C-alpha cells in the first residue's frame, strides 16, 4: 500500500485486521501515558519484597511506569496476545501423576515467535502510515504488559493477577508495540471474577495472599524458574510435582473451562517433553537437556536449576506414593 493512511479510524482497522492475518488472536490499543494508578501499588509491592530475588523488578522504575521513557514521543501502546491453549494436553496433564511443566512452556519459546510477528506488524504499520518511531517488546524491557493489556480492553486482571479474556481465558501470552502515532483507543472491560475465590483457595503456597495480590516470592513459578539458590525446605512439599512453572491457579479458573483452543503450531506441545516419567527426568544429563530444550523457555533455570526442581518433585511424588500405598493397606485391612 503506497498511500499513507492518515485517517486514525481507518489506520486502526487496518492494523487490527493485519494483526489477525499475521496470527495474533487479539489486539488492543491504549493511549501512552504514565501509569499513575500502578505506581503506588508497584512501589509497595517492591518495598514488601514480594519480588524476592527478581532484582530486575527494582530497576528502571520510571521506564516501567511510563512508556514514553522507553520511546520518546510515544502516543500509543498496542497490545497483542496469542493463545497456547490445547484442551487435549490440558486434560491429559490434569490426569497425570508425572512431573509437570507449565503449559505455556511445552512448545517453542514464545519470545522468538512474538518478536517475528510484532516486527511484521510494525513493518505493516509503517507501510500504511509512513515512517514510525517505536519499538516492539516481548519481556525484553521494563513494560507492564498486563496493565497495558487491561488498558487496551484485552481483558481484566483476575484475583490471581493473571489477565483474563472472555474468549481466550488466561491461556495466552502477551507482547507490545510502543509507537509515536495515534489510534482509536479501546476501553477497559469490566471485572467478571465476581465472588469466586477458587484460584486463592487452590494455591498451595498461599502466594495469592488476598484477592488481586500475589507474593511473587512464594509462587511455584518463582521457585522453579527465577530462584537461583536452593528452594526453602519449608516450601518444597507445597511445590508438588511441578518442575517448571505452575498452572494451578489457571487450571481451577472457571473462565478457562470452555475457551477456544490456540491455533499457533509453534506453541503446540512438544511430544518428547510432555508427560514423561519421573525416571526419565531423573536420568536427564546435560547434553540431553540442551537438546530437548533448544529454543524452549524451559532452558531459563539452566540445567542445575531444572534438576534441583526434579529432585524436589521426586521426593514429593514418592512421598505421595507412600501415602497412597498406606491408605490402600488400611482399606484392605479394614
Q: Among all residues, which ones are annotated catalytic? A: 139
CA-wise closest residue to 180 among 74, 67, 77: 74
Please state whether beta strands 208-210 and 213-214 pair in parallel, antiparallel, or not at all (unpaired). Answer: antiparallel
Q: Are 149 and 79 in contact (CB under 8 A)?
A: yes
Answer yes or no: are the C-beta atoms of 113 and 84 closer than 8 Å: no
On whether the CB atoms of residues 267 and 113 are closer than 8 A, the answer is yes
Measured in degrees and rounded to the nearest 5, phi and psi for residue 22 equal: -65, -30
Q: Phi, psi at residue 53, to the nearest 5°? A: -90, 10
Residue 40 has a CB neighbour count (10 Å cut-off) of 9
Residue 172 bridge partners (DSSP): 83
If phi > 0 it is left, if psi is from -120 to 50 it is alpha, else beta; for residue 153 that is left
DSSP E strands in the chain: the ranges are 26-31, 76-83, 100-101, 134-137, 156-157, 163-164, 172-179, 208-210, 213-214, 242-244
Nearest-angstrom CA–CA distance, 173 and 193: 20
Amino acid at each position: 500500500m503506497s498511500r499513507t493512511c492518515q485517517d486514525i479510524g481507518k489506520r486502526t482497522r487496518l492494523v487490527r485486521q493485519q494483526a489477525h492475518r499475521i496470527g495474533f488472536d487479539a489486539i488492543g490499543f491504549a493511549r501512552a501515558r504514565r501509569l499513575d494508578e500502578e505506581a503506588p501499588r508497584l512501589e509497595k509491592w517492591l518495598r514488601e519484597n514480594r519480588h524476592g530475588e527478581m532484582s530486575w523488578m527494582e530497576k528502571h522504575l520510571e521506564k516501567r511506569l511510563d512508556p514514553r521513557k522507553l520511546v520518546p514521543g510515544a502516543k500509543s501502546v498496542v497490545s497483542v496476545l496469542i493463545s497456547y491453549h490445547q484442551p487435549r494436553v490440558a486434560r491429559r496433564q490434569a490426569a497425570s501423576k508425572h512431573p509437570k511443566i507449565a503449559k505455556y512452556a511445552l512448545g517453542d519459546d514464545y519470545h522468538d515467535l512474538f518478536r517475528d510477528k510484532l516486527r511484521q506488524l510494525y513493518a505493516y504499520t509503517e507501510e500504511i502510515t509512513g515512517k514510525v518511531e517505536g519499538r516492539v517488546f516481548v519481556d525484553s524491557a521494563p513494560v507492564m504488559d498486563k496493565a497495558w493489556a487491561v488498558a487496551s480492553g484485552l481483558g481484566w486482571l483476575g484475583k490471581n493477577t493473571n489477565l483474563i479474556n472472555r474468549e481466550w481465558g488466561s491461556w495466552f501470552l502477551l507482547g507490545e508495540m510502543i509507537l509515536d502515532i495515534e489510534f482509536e483507543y479501546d476501553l477497559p472491560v469490566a471485572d467478571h471474577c465476581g465472588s469466586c475465590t477458587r484460584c486463592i483457595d487452590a494455591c498451595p503456597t498461599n502466594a495469592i495472599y488476598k484477592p488481586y495480590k500475589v507474593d511473587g516470592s512464594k509462587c511455584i513459578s518463582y521457585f522453579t524458574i527465577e530462584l537461583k539458590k536452593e528452594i526453602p525446605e519449608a516450601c518444597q512439599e507445597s511445590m508438588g510435582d511441578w518442575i517448571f512453572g505452575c498452572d494451578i491457579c489457571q487450571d481451577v479458573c472457571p473462565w478457562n473451562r470452555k475457551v477456544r483452543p490456540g491455533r499457533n503450531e509453534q506453541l503446540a506441545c512438544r511430544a518428547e517433553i510432555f508427560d514423561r516419567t519421573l525416571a526419565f527426568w531423573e536420568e536427564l544429563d546435560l547434553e540431553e537437556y540442551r537438546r530437548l530444550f533448544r529454543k524452549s523457555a524451559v532452558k531459563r533455570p539452566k540445567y542445575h536449576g531444572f534438576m534441583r526442581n526434579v529432585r524436589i518433585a521426586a521426593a514429593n511424588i514418592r512421598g505421595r506414593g507412600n501415602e497412597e500405598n498406606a491408605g490402600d493397606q488400611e482399606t484392605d485391612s479394614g
